[in-house]
Amino acid sequence: MDGSADLRSRLRAVVAQRMATDPAHDLAHLDRVWMNAQAIADDQTDMPVLLAASYLHDLVNLSKDDPERHLASRKSAEESESILAKLGYDPGQIRAITHAIEAHSFSANITPESPEACILRDADRLDALGAIGIARNFSVSGALGRSLYDPADPFAAHRPLDDLHYSIDHWKIKLLRLPGDMLTKTGKEIAQRRTTRMIRFLEDFAQEIGGTLPVDWTDQ
């Protein structure tokens, strides 16, 4: 069992039909997470484990407003077990993969206990940052019917942050804080670079709506 192109193709085929309805969590997202994971991995990483975890981590994808959202990673781990057995993974590998899947989720609040779990969590969160993170944020917010920003107070200078109603608020509440939450050195470095791109976007965004980006939004 190794991280061969054939194994990747087989994993992609398994998830292809299940990842087509949400443009922020589709097959392209899984490809990007695998790319991010490879950028973070080193020569001590169990690549077959990381490969499977990257492609199966969103096997069960629940909407962000679903009351069982926090259970999605556990459900994904459970459903992955039979798939992994058919692909030839042994019981030890399956345990390692299902742990990484369970622990990748922000809402599940499970501590990653292996290098591969740490890498997967960072790789998945990197896809919420940078140019692709901007696109995904607005895609998800649009699907949930949220406004881009509050016209009266775009950057919440005089109101509580509210990302249930305003897309931009989610940046301050969660996205711009992700670099400080990364578990790997390489993940943190990539996250910081991507966050810099997002700050530049916010500065342009503020200018185009006739405002100025507050200094505290750039202090992460």
Distance CA 168, CA 155 (A): 8
Cα 94–Cα 100–Cα 103 angle in degrees, nearest 5: 135
Whether residue 20 has pLDDT greater than 90: no
With b meaning 16 or more CB within 10 Å and e meaning fewer, what string describes 186-215?
Answer: bbbebbeebbeebeebbeebbeeeeeebee
pLDDT digits (tens, 9 = 90+) for 28-52: 999 999 999 999 999 999 999 999 9
pLDDT recorded at residue 3: 52
Q: Is the pTM of this model over 0.75?
A: yes
pLDDT recorded at residue 62: 67
pLDDT digits (tens, 9 = 90+) for 63-112: 666 566 667 788 888 989 999 999 999 999 999 999 999 998 877 778 89
- List domains and CATH numbers for the chain: 5-111 (1.10.472), 130-217 (1.10.3210.50)
pLDDT digits (tens, 9 = 90+) for 137-178: 999 998 889 999 999 999 999 999 999 999 999 999 999 999
State the CB neighbour count (10 A cutoff) for residue 6: 8
